[in-house]
Amino acid sequence: MLSKMDKKVINSIRFLSMDAVEKANSGHPGLPMGTATLSYTLWAKHLNVSKNDPTWANRDRFVLSAGHGSMLQYSLLHLFGYDVSMEDIKDFRQWGSKTPGHPEYGHTEGIETTTGPLGQGIANAVGMAMAEKRLAAEFNTSDMNIVDHFTYVVAGDGDMMEGVASEACSLAGHLKLSKLIVLYDDNKITIDGTTDIAFTEDVGKRFEAYGWEVLESRNSEDIDELSDLIEMAKKSDKPTLIKVPTTIGYGSPNKAGQSVAHGAPLGADEIKLTRENMDWEHEAFFIPEDVYTHMGRVIDEKDKLRQDWNEKFDKYREKHPELAAKWDRWHSLELSDELLNDSELFNFDKDIATRAAGGKVINVIAKHMDNIFGGSADLAGSNKTTMNNTGDFQADTPDGNNINFGVREHGMGAILNGISLHGGFRTFGATFLIFSNYMRPAIRLSALMNQPVVYVFTHDSIALGEDGPTHQPIEQLAALRTIPNLKVFRPADAKETAVAWIEALKNTDGPSVIALTRQGLPVLDSVEDANRGGYIVSPEKKYSPDAILIATGSEVSLAMDAQKELAKENIDARVVSILSWELFEAQDAEYKEKVLPKNISKRVSIEAGTTFGWQKYTGSEGKNIGIDHFGASAPAEKLMEEFGFSVSNVVKTVKEIL
């Protein structure tokens, strides 16, 4: 059972957590108090990490999927020597602190992913475990295993209820991700009360059906039993769920085991009683010196594992120089000159759907970038995202690069974040644009975490036709454009599609969306300056245009056809293609003025989606051709004509504003 020192460290975690929540007058003390023993057991006895190099490649990953219990993680990071000071703990949830309300990747040292929206963390962990398995298949040799680490998760009842977790864990079982271990904080409490008001399923049987190993603790305070269970999980050939029957708010005389301990401070009186109950005769934020001394020894032991791995990798580099060079390349985000200069990227000479063009482009990319790792949510044939000659990533073929996500769009998005966070890959996922709705929380977290995930969304407008309004995106492009730090590309042709892919891969500080057509589009003569987001694709004939047509995607060719008809009526129009609002907005004022001069106020935007947002480019004197209602089931040509995406309507609209 617990030694005196183990008990001191565990209680340090508990009291740091409740003191920080109390000082902030905000937070979740119950989870840290209930899971302190299982978390300390994991970190002290199993988790291979080092505060001396928090990002060393072969470290184990720890994900607190139940991110509302963030003080658990901050307490662990503090005690295990990371850059989280006692002052940082005291500043919990305050402006500018390293200890925000939920763990944030890139904000606090040692945080592997941003969690809080329940289910996302455990799904990220599936992606991390997939990345580990794929890297191991590529780089481990018969004489040296340099990729050999686990992904551990602390998840709660809320995580288990979320659909995104179910999607991801189902795939994890299928892929036999044996390096994935989930510690299930089974406290049977939610905000509204006990879980039996809404959640009475047998979680263990569900995970067994997914293909997981399921183990169960009898006592959440038995450190030896918990350690033995983790050791058993590490030897399984399946992912493992360890059910741990914890008590939320453990140690609190009046609030333990109740929902009141979940999301509010315990209160000064209750903390005083808890101190008495737990024999913790210390003031707030006090850690006994012998705890720090003990933890110093634990930290040194853990760092020895990192040092051993570094020495091993040095030998690996000597013995396997080609693999080591590939390792360096896979862990770099830079694009090779060979890729950037490959003429095949722009080798298009006849009408082609941008989804089909995207399929050709991604295969050119894969030829130069053998660490591009991604796939589709059961739509690879429609999305055209299959990479030829790279194989499928499956349980028995872990060296493949094509991922079959199944019909799991939300799970796919969260898994992609995990792959990207792990490192070693450039990753993408594909589905129809309409189903970006299912993925929005994961896309938002990609943007929040600055992860360079590429989302490929095909069937980008009502022009998909007969499938009707359930599948025809209207508001999706506008909605995606509102997400900060997300670049949205809607290419006008095959060449712009190549530009979009290259710019997406260059975008290493955030995610990108590439929206592609089902229908064929003419190939533009030149896409010079497309990489600037917006450019003059067809200039006016005179010194200054009478009007400017601004379009994206399939509507660019429509605008160019309308330009020709307007010319017959002595109306000289300029056509501007806006491949990406975000890239265009990032250009300097001089360039933007060149493309969209302020003195030319007669402007018409054309996009087969909602007109929301286009006013920023058309102004008070312009007009917007779009669709601000749902579509219908009919052939694409009929829909486009009926809803105003025709040369005659563009000409009519331009004449109305002149």
Amino acid at 183: L
**Order of strands across the sheet with 573-578?**
534-538, 573-578, 547-551, 603-606, 623-625
Check 132, 162, 270, 409 and give the catalytic one.
Answer: 409
CB atoms within 10 A of CB 122: 31
Closest listed residue to residue 505, CA positions, set 336, 382, 325: 336
Rounded Cα gap, residues 362 and 372, in angstroms: 9
Rounded Cα gap, residues 361 and 430, in angstroms: 14
Closest listed residue to residue 513, CA positions, set 482, 472, 480, 535: 480
List b or e across 491-506, with b for residues whose CB sees 16 or more CB atoms inside 10 angstroms. bbbbbbbbbbbbbbbb
Contact (CB, 8 A) for 570 and 595: no
Rounded Cα gap, residues 253 and 120, in angstroms: 33
Rounded Cα gap, residues 53 and 629, in angstroms: 53
User: CB neighbours of 477 closer than 8 A, spacing ≥ 6?
Assistant: 433, 460, 488, 490, 515, 607, 609, 610
Phi/psi for 606 (5° steps) reads -135, 115
Longest dimension (CA), the chain: 91
Rounded Cα gap, residues 478 and 460, in angstroms: 12
Output the six-digit token pair for 95: 């402006």
Given the structure tokens 């977290």, which residue do they identify?
A: 445
Output the six-digit token pair for 8: 């001191």
Output the six-digit token pair for 114: 């941003």
DSSP output for 465-500 = -TT-TTT--SSHHHHHHTSTT-EEE--SSHHHHHHH
User: CB neighbours of 560 closer than 8 A, spacing ≥ 6?
Assistant: 537, 538, 575
Contact (CB, 8 A) for 384 and 356: yes
Angle 555-568/647-657 helices, nearest 10 degrees?
60
Output the six-digit token pair for 496: 């712009």
Closest listed residue to residue 154, CA positions, set 69, 236, 94: 69
Question: What separation in angstroms does the CA of 355 have from each of 110, 496, 627, 645?
Answer: 39, 12, 22, 20
**Is residue 109 annotated as part of the catalytic site, yes or no?**
no
Output the six-digit token pair for 266: 């315990």
DSSP one-letter code for 524:
P
Given the structure tokens 């054309």, which residue do they identify?
A: 606
Rounded Cα gap, residues 125 and 145, in angstroms: 21
**The three-state (H, E, C) secondary structure of 143-166, written as one string:** CCCCCCCCEEEEEEHHHHHCHHHH
Q: Compute the half-sphere exposure of residue 140: CA atoms within 13 Å on the CB side of its CA.
A: 15
CB atoms within 10 A of CB 20: 28
Q: How far apart are the first and last CA of the chain?
A: 84
Output the six-digit token pair for 294: 């003990």
Given the structure tokens 């190939």, which residue do they identify?
A: 523
| Residues recognised as catalytic | 409
